[in-house]
Copies of this chain bind each other. A is one copy, B any other.
Amino acid sequence: MQQDRQDVTYPGGVARLYVEAPLAPGASLMLDEGQSHYLAHVLRAKPGQRVRLFNGADGEWSATIEAIAKKGVTLEVEGLTRPQAGVPDLWLLLAPVKKTPLDYIVQKATELGVARIQPVITRRTIVERVNTDRMKANAIEAAEQSGRLGVPAIAEPAPLERVLAGWDTGRAIVFCDEAGDARPLAEAVREREAASWALLTGPEGGFDPVERAHLRSLSCVIPVTLGPRIMRADTAALAAIAVWQSVRGDWR
């Protein structure tokens, strides 16, 4: 198995890296500082070994390490290993939570397969600053490890009201409403037809009554419940994605 021995591996399998450069046979590219360090010093890769690359558009490619130099690792793209494939067109509208649960949500939402994460500032959002660079880094790492061929888009935070005001109403919003009188998520999503979908989960303190009433007045909003227990914001977000994927996504 000479070929296998040439792959750069980590406990999850062959090293996969997300890059922004176009990928095509013979293309040459240099990794950025962080990825170069990771390959050369964490995974101890050597010239001649192979990794996999993806960029969200051109599929997954095998690439050979040409050189490991101080300014960065240079790779030459070889053959296509998987054709491009996307995830379902599911957005997550997320009231930001504290740093650790937010890291966790971004990582898990990427693995579970969302296309875009939009932080929304609600009336009861306590977190003042959302580090979208950190969110992007978490999303890239999770995409690399989960076998995804693209990274979810991370939108800049915006007030919920403004996001709703500019909303394309063809995209249904599944509103995880902790108030408890709504229909179960799976049932509500199964019975509704929509061109595309978003999930909306609240901050630690839930939604404000005025906000809830406004959401419930919109025809593109589907209020749903996730059962009789009280969940933390991060648990609710992940549970909602998992159930949606089973009913409308690519877990069918």
A250 at the interface (CB under 8 A from B): yes
B230 close to A251 (CB less than 8 A):
no
A204 to B13 alpha-carbon distance, docked (Å): 11
Residues from chain B with Cβ under 8 Å of A232 in the complex: 111, 145
The A171-191 residues at the B interface (CB cut-off 8 A) are: 184-187
A29 at the interface (CB under 8 A from B): no
Q: How large is the interface on A (under 10, 10 to 19, 20 to 34, 35 or more residues)?
A: 35 or more
A227-B249, A252-B187 given; A235·B112 CB < 8 A:
yes
A151 to chain B, nearest CB (A): 13
A164 at the interface (CB under 8 A from B): no
B147 close to A229 (CB less than 8 A):
yes
A112 close to B12 (CB less than 8 A):
no
In the complex, which of the residues B111, B225, B226, B240 contacts A235, with contact meaning CB atoms closer than 8 Å?
B111
B111 close to A231 (CB less than 8 A):
yes
Chain A residues near B (Cβ < 8 Å): 11-12, 85, 87, 104, 108, 111-113, 145-148, 184-187, 204-205, 225-232, 235, 238-240, 242-243, 245-247, 249-252
